[in-house]
Structure 1
Amino acid sequence: MRVTRSCSPSGRNSPRVRYGERRSSRMSRSFQDYPPGRLRVLVVSDGSEDSTCALVDSIEDARVSLLAFPQRRGKAACVNDALAACRERFVVMTDVRQPLDPLAVRRLLENLADENVGAVSGKLMHERQGMSDFGEGLDAYWRYEQFMRMTESRIHSMVGVLGALYALRRQCFREIPPQTILDDVLIPMRVVLQGRRVVFENEALAYDEALTDASRERTRKVRTLAGNFQLLTSYPGLLVPWRNPIALQLISHKLMRLIGPLALAVALVTNIVLIDGGFFFVATLAIQIAGYGLALLGTLWPHAGRLRLVRLAMAFVSLNWFVVLGFVEFASNRDTHLWKNPSPSADDTRSST
């Protein structure tokens, strides 16, 4: 399946269609816990090539409906159609891949009791068992990313939400361009521009499998970074403080990340030119060379990745390299908004949006 989204208004949980028949019964059983009239589930299938539509149709529950499209159009187009089909006051958006904590949706919706809050983001937790050394480095980055989001929420609002789990006041939604890559950033930014807050809920948990496949994570990160370039070039007004109350957060969180590789290159070249300027320049050049050397060591000698410092260096260098690849992807590929799922193994039929 390419894209499957579930849309749920007020309720205690947000069930999802999983991949394959071995998981469909688990979703069906989960409906038994919901009081009648308090939940409606809309599954949106974007050009699914497996048995997703048949599985949803087989669920004998009036609260579950399917919105299926024969051709892939991208996640943003599906979000637009899903929200147009919803009439409820609150909508919970979830990805098909990640299972949710039983209290996740309840925790999200509690925040919407505050009329000043327009959207609420959940928190993603990766499984630790079986995580690769490269994945450990990326997971450290992800924990830092979620710390930044939580801090932004305390100050005013988050720059983006967790696409795998967030709640939204339907009245705050504005249709987004179908080619949008980062709907989970553009939608909350538009909520902020309406004068409402976008907050982080630390107890609304979604779970994802361990980070083990470097090539798959690279594909995801490159696509996300291409989306950052798309967002900032399409909506430069978001960077203007008197137009956007969280413009400074956007600049520090998104824009500074995109100029990171250029800044690192300038720092290295400048340091080399100024090497005769004294101990300070010698020391800073040594630190840079050591950092890149650790990343190279971890790449050439995988066992070195067991050392935390090597893992962090590899993640830092990789993420900045992904920025370069993200720019190339943004500049050269008009279909980046269409997720291209890696070829699944026999035991892994998941997809991502």
Structure 2
Amino acid sequence: MLHTLLAVVAIGGVVAVLYSYALYPVVLFVVGSVAQGLRDVGFVFRKRDRRIDAGHTEAEPDWPPVAVVISAYNEETHIVSRIENLLALDYPADKLRAYIGSDGSRDRTAELMAQFKDEPRVVALPFEVNRGKASVLNDLVSRTVEPIVVFSDANTYFERSALKRLVARFQDPKVGGVTGELRLLGNASGDNQDSLYWRIEQFLKFFEARIGALLGANGAIYAIRRTLWQPLRPDTICDDFCVAMNVSAAGHRLVYEPKAWAEEDTPEQIGEEVKRRIRIGIGNFQALARHPQYLTRTSLATAFAYVSHKVLRWTAPHLLLLALAASVVLAVQQQSAGWAVYALAQATSYVLAWAGWRLTSRGVKLPTLVKLAAFLFALNWAFLVASWRFSTGRASGSWGRTSR
């Protein structure tokens, strides 16, 4: 019995991780293609909407008032250009207002925001006490009156027509939230550590949206109906994920609009990305523990995607370590060369990925696949550290600064 259990752990752990990273995208593509094909059949025989985004019209809509909400901390480098970017968007000036809060910034962020005090489209709120991003978002949203609330970051820049493309999706009354696309700009060295991984994530987001299973939102550019806003707990870390998933759990559609895009710089070093991923990872485990409704009160498609894309990814390093430990125990107990080779292959893979991570961190140029393996090691290391910090209570909703 014990031998069987150990074998299931040793093989199942690796299979579960391979499924999440390699097989799930294929399954999602097939399911998404079938779903689109059925919609096409419905269009041919019943003249129903052919596309999931069939709310678009050629006529210029009556654009609703929009509030853009940004919580900023120590953003003196970006805040002026970010506000100017918002004011230059292709959206009716009398329908756009930006609510920007400085969360007790220690640099010149609040001072620079004051330059726009005479601009009626900008509500600049220089909060003196640092409370954390979630608290500032709660405060800012409570001051809005516009029916559509758009969330973004201080170091992100919208393409000129992004707001219109984002808001246009709300013509469908079933849509409760819309997420746009974030395009990562290469750093000075041209070494974008997670570009391939990011493209895969965009692929998954596109097909998850196609089957009505979009998970969360991209914090750089997303919007919800104000009536669906639920105040965040002050220590919430992954605010964008929780805000969007609250919309989904309330029974409203989340959709993806890749034509509404924004730009943001990538981190200079993979070490910077690890710090960011650890913080996000803590927020992931926080959301998993606090919000079971993201699994129980969302659609079947969303629950399937949530487990396949998120939960298995977050727990991947734990599954792999358990699989390795079970393989070693089996190799010793059974005196089995097969289990010994299996355990050695796992351990060797992790050591090589770690070595690639170390070389990449030192700026060594490596082939794309090696860089991807290094990035995945760093990602899983971040999840492992994040789970430990979350379980031991070493987490808070305060800001964590990285170059991104």
**Short-chain TM bin:** 0.7 to 0.9
| Pair 1:78 & 2:136 matched | yes
CA contact (8 A) 1:47 1:72 kept: yes
2:401 to 333, 336, 341: 341
Query: What does residue range 1-353 of structure 1 map to in structure 2 within 5 Å?
Result: 10=65, 19-20=75-76, 24=80, 27-28=83-84, 31=87, 35-59=92-116, 60-131=118-189, 135-136=192-193, 138-240=194-296, 243-245=297-299, 246-273=302-329, 284-285=342-343, 287-302=345-360, 305-333=365-393, 336-341=396-401
Query: For 2:168 and 2:273, how far apart are their aligned partners in 1?
Result: 33
CA contact (8 A) 2:282 2:390 kept: yes
Structure 2 counterpart SS, 1:306: coil
Tell which structure's C-alpha radius of gyration is larger.
Answer: 2
- The structure in which a higher percent of residues are helix is 2
The alignment's TM-score, normalised by the length of structure 1, stands at 0.83
Range that drifts further, 142-151 or 94-103: 142-151
Query: For 1:316 and 1:110, how far apart are their aligned partners in 2?
Result: 36
Structure 1 counterpart SS, 2:237: coil
CA contact (8 A) 2:82 2:157 kept: no
Query: For 1:55 and 1:146, how far apart are their aligned partners in 2?
Result: 34
CA contact (8 A) 2:70 2:153 kept: no
CA contact (8 A) 1:77 1:178 kept: yes
Range that drifts further, 152-161 or 293-302: 293-302
Gaps of 5+ in 1: 1-8, 343-349
CA deviation after TM superposition for structure 1 residue 287, in Å: 4.8
Gaps of 5+ in 2: 1-63
Query: For 1:128 and 1:313, how far apart are their aligned partners in 2?
Result: 19
CA deviation after TM superposition for structure 1 residue 237, in Å: 3.6
Range that drifts further, 38-47 or 16-25: 16-25
RMSD between aligned residues: 3.1
Deviations 1:271-291 (A, max 9, x none): 445567676x67755653453
CA contact (8 A) 1:93 1:166 kept: yes
Tell me the matched-pair count. Answer: 332
CA deviation after TM superposition for structure 1 residue 21, in Å: 7.5
Query: For 2:142 and 2:379, how far apart are their aligned partners in 1?
Result: 36
What fraction of aligned residue pairs are identical, expressed as a percent?
32
Deviations 1:46-82 (A, max 9, x none): 1122222232222231121112321111111111111
CA deviation after TM superposition for structure 1 residue 201, in Å: 1.2
Distance change (3 Å), C-alpha of 1:311 and 1:114: same
Q: Residue in 1 aligned with 2:51?
A: none
CA deviation after TM superposition for structure 1 residue 169, in Å: 0.7
What is the identity, as a one-letter code, of the residue corresponding to 1:81? D
Query: For 1:338 and 1:47, how far apart are their aligned partners in 2?
Result: 11
The alignment's TM-score, normalised by the length of structure 2, stands at 0.73
Structure 2 counterpart SS, 1:44: strand
